[in-house]
Each structure stands twice: as C-alpha cells, then as structure tokens.
Structure 1
Amino acid sequence: MSSKMIFINLPVADLDRSKNFYEALGWKVNQDFTDENAACIVVDDNICLMLLTRDFFPTFSKRPLGDTVSTIGAAYALALSSAEEVDTLTAAALAAGAIEEVNEDKRAQEAQVGMHGRTFIDPDGHQWEPFWMDYPGH
C-alpha cells in the first residue's frame, strides 16, 4: 500500500522569517527543496509546507495572489495527540510571533464534543488550528 503526502503551498513575505517561525515550532527545513524562492518545511513524514516567496508563488497559477494578512482563504487544522500538545504548539507559535485568535463560542462547541483546539495566525496571516479530539478508538 502506498502512503499519501500533502504539500501545502503558502505565500510568504519574508522567507527567512517564515523559516525561522516554523523551525521555532519544532518543524524542520528540508534543504534539498529549499532555495532563495522556496523552503520545504517538514511537519511530519506525510505533511510538508512549501513556503514560497510572494514573487515566486504566482508562477504556480494564473489566478492572482490574494492578501493573506487581512482576509482568510483557508484554515489549516492539524490533529495532535493530546490537549497538552495543542497548547505547547500554540505557545511556541505565540513566542515566535504568531497572534492567537480566541473564539469563545467555538471553544464551547468543541468542549461539548470532547475537543480541545486553539487558533493562531502566523506572521504571514495563515490561520492554523491545532486540535485534539477524544474519540473512540483513538
């Protein structure tokens, strides 16, 4: 059986700042796929981020690049193994320059179904939602 991988392409304003941010979360830079236009960030064996400079990103599409700082086009939910891991990752992100977005209504809904989640916005405006869910068989 073959495994699947996902590569999330993210436009960034300052490639070095973004690499440093994600390294502060404990994720690694794969130098084999990193140059002055892009950096590959390894989240785990099956998830990688491709950080692409705002000048290079448009070479992947004919559609114009949107403003990720003041608008949202996507939210990246990342399932983790514990509520503590969610809090640890979020704390590292905040220490590295992220902004936490708190939605008490969403937190209350999550608590009702046995979830613990947090939301942070990275320095380029990308929204991350690490979460842990207590579900049978997990």
Structure 2
Amino acid sequence: MSRQIFINLPVADLPRSVAFFAALGFAPNPQFTGEGGGCFSITDTIILMLCPHARFRDFTPKEICDTSKAVEVLLSLSCDSREEVDSLVARALAAGGTTYDEPEDFGFMYTHSFVDPDGHGWGVLHLSGTPAP
C-alpha cells in the first residue's frame, strides 16, 4: 500500500492562504476546499490541508503556535532541479511569502526556502548526488 502524508496547517486567513498555494502551482482539490478549509495536492502522496484556526482547534487541545515568535515545524520539499527550486521560491515571494536566507549550494544539494503568509517555513531542495564522507 502506498502511504500518503497529510500536512495540516493552521491558517489565519483561509482565502489568502488558498490563493498563495494556488500561486505556487499546487493542485487544488475542490472536494475538500470551502469555508471549512483548503486542500492541495503537492504530489500524489503529499496532501496539504489548510485549516482556519477555529477548525484546527477541533483537532488538538494545544494552543496554535504563534509563528512570529516560535517555530512549530519546518517542512522540506524536494524538487527535480535547481531551476525548480528557484522557480518555486520566486513564485512564493511573488504571492506574498518571504524568505530569510539566500540559496545555498553544497555540491550534492542545492537549497533555498520561503515562509508562507502564516509563518510556516518551507525548505526547498534539489539533491544531485551524495555528500562526501
């Protein structure tokens, strides 16, 4: 059986977050998108669920992280090329995201990152080899 990963993220402004991830080119799933949340297929096995804060609280008794003060999670997404890394970060910035670093080339891995409008950090990387021992 093929497993899927469902990333559930709390969002303050659902329409803004839906527009942001649509601008990145992720495939929306209209069956699970509406007033109660947004759903995007990042790949066939990675599904992004956007939950307004009130809805997110239905799933956990814990407080929602204030991402302006603390990090709740870092998400990393692989790409097929360096160009795809740069393109995805550029689309994120054009759609209202931010970044806190510059691209880094480690020889075997090229990385960059963006922060979505709700403060969730996304690392974007392309692996082109194996690290030296």
TM-score by length of 1: 0.88
- Deviation track 1:35-77 (CA, whole Å, cap 9, x = no partner) reads 2121111111111110000111011011121212332111100
Between the aligned partners of 2:69 and 2:119, the Cα distance in structure 1 is 7
Is 1:90 aligned to 2:71, yes or no? no
Contact in 2 for aligned 1:90/1:120 (Cα 8 Å): yes
Deviation at 1:28, TM superposition (A): 1.8
- Show structure 2 runs of 5+ residues with no match: none
Aligned to 1:62: 61
SS in structure 1 at match of 2:85 = helix
SS in structure 1 at match of 2:90 = helix
- Deviates most, 118-127 or 33-42: 33-42
Between the aligned partners of 2:89 and 2:102, the Cα distance in structure 1 is 15
Greater share of residues in helix: 1
- Deviation track 1:68-126 (CA, whole Å, cap 9, x = no partner) reads 2332111100011111100000000000011111168xx3xx51x51110011110000
Aligned to 1:74: 73
- Which structure 1 residue ranges, 4+ long, deviate > 3 Å from structure 2? none
Matching of residues 9-24 of structure 1 within 5 Å: 9-24=8-23
Opposite residue 127 of structure 1, the aligned amino acid is G
SS in structure 2 at match of 1:99 = coil
SS in structure 2 at match of 1:119 = strand
Matching of residues 1-138 of structure 1 within 5 Å: 2-102=1-101, 107=104, 111=106, 113-135=107-129
TM-score by length of 2: 0.91
Seq. identity, %: 40
Opposite residue 65 of structure 1, the aligned amino acid is I
- Show structure 1 runs of 5+ residues with no match: none
Contact in 2 for aligned 1:70/1:125 (Cα 8 Å): no
- Deviation track 1:9-35 (CA, whole Å, cap 9, x = no partner) reads 000011010000000000121011122
